[in-house]
Amino acid sequence: MFFLLSGEHYPLPRMELESCLAADGVRWQEAGSLGRVALLDLDGPPPTRMGLTPEIGELACTADDAEGLIAAVTDSPLELAGSFVVRASTVPKAFDCGATRLEPRLGDVIGERTGAPVDLHDPDTVLRVIATPEGAVMGPRVHQRGTFDDRKSDRRPYFHPSSLAPKLARAMVNLSGARSQKTLLDPFCGTGGIPIEAAMVGCRVLASDIDPKMVAGTKANLDHLDLEASMATGDARHVTELFGEGSVDCIATDPPYGRAASTWGVGLKDLFSEVFPALFAVLRPGGLMCMGAPQQVPLETLCRDVGFKYLQGVRIRVHGSLTRHICVAERP
């Protein structure tokens, strides 16, 4: 059994997790949850490409509080090969686990039980304790999310204020059902946030934009990271002329909102309503689309009007005047 810590924008991390498991063909069953920590039985390895899940551990024990955790560890079947260290942290509003006191106490108990030595600097196993408002979990860490900092928009050669954060771009890629060797399209590529993350997970990437500066900027950013995509300049409303009907396995895209990024004189709702038939046509049957839009754009209605099956959606507050609606739809 594994425990997975959800990051920001909850419940979007759970949606991303389920999409990755489905794309990988891993069957799973929920064994409970402690707030932002999901407990899952999996019939395969947990996905490690997620943008919004910072850590995954193999569950050793759970408890209601710090003292209960000490008792649970004492009775657990935990086995260790080599050295270890205990690292404890909390999520917002969790009980105070007293990490600086709990870590050495657990270290003493575990060392006595297993005979394994503590190594604070280069341990063979990191035992993670995560305290939540509903209780705590502990077990060996099996995955820690890599940094996305080197792919932040202001660290790439071409910058624009409309750029998506890399972790959110990765989540949208995963929500589209993408995986290695699938063909993913972003017809509003902007500065390349989504194409970059799709290439990072091994997709064959198609990317286009009506603005040739954006296309050149996306290519510069991909080149900077030694990544590849097939690029084109053109109107997303005519994307089948660029790439052909039924040519892509999945779509992940965040069209311009007419704020930081221009809609080139087309009204916001008109842009979305006019592009949907083209996106439906370019996507293969059974393919998924993940799209972001301001919440006033009726994505659910637009999906159904052209034949998409609207599967799920979530709204994320960006700032006082913008809430982003991220949806997932399927072409039957």
Q: Where are the domains of the chain?
A: 2-144, 149-330
pLDDT at 331: 98
Is the pLDDT confidence value at 263 over 60?
A: no
pLDDT at 77: 86
* 3-class SS shares of the chain: helix, strand, coil, % to 5: 30, 30, 35
Q: Over the stretch 133-177, which tens digit does the pLDDT of each residue have?
A: 889 999 999 999 998 998 998 999 998 887 899 999 999 999 999
**CA atoms of 210 and 294, how far apart (whole Å):** 20
Indicate the average pLDDT of the chain.
92
Instruction: Give the mean pLDDT of 16-35.
Output: 94
Q: E strands along the chain, which residues?
A: 2-5, 28-34, 37-42, 55-58, 61-63, 84-90, 125-132, 135-144, 183-186, 204-209, 230-233, 248-253, 283-294, 309-319, 322-330
H or E segment to which residue 137 belongs: strand 135-144
- Among 2-11, 17-26, 298-307, 323-332, name the one with the lowest average pLDDT: 2-11
pLDDT at 266: 66
pLDDT at 260: 47
pLDDT at 92: 81
Residue 278's pLDDT band (cuts 50, 70, 90): very high
pLDDT at 270: 84
Residue 256's pLDDT band (cuts 50, 70, 90): confident
Q: What percent of the chain has pLDDT over 70?
A: 97
Question: So what's the architecture of 149-330 in CATH?
Answer: 3-Layer(aba) Sandwich (3.40)
Output the CA–CA distances (angstroms, integers) from residue 248 to 139, 240, 331, in the order listed: 40, 10, 11
Instruction: Give the mean pLDDT of 208-236.
Output: 96
Question: So what's the architecture of 2-144 in CATH?
Answer: 2-Layer Sandwich (3.30)
Q: Over the stretch 100-128, which tens digit does the pLDDT of each residue have?
A: 788 999 999 999 999 999 999 999 999 99
Is the pLDDT confidence value at 259 over 60?
A: no
Residue 265's pLDDT band (cuts 50, 70, 90): low
The one-letter amino acid at 27: R
Instruction: Give the mean pLDDT of 309-330.
Output: 93
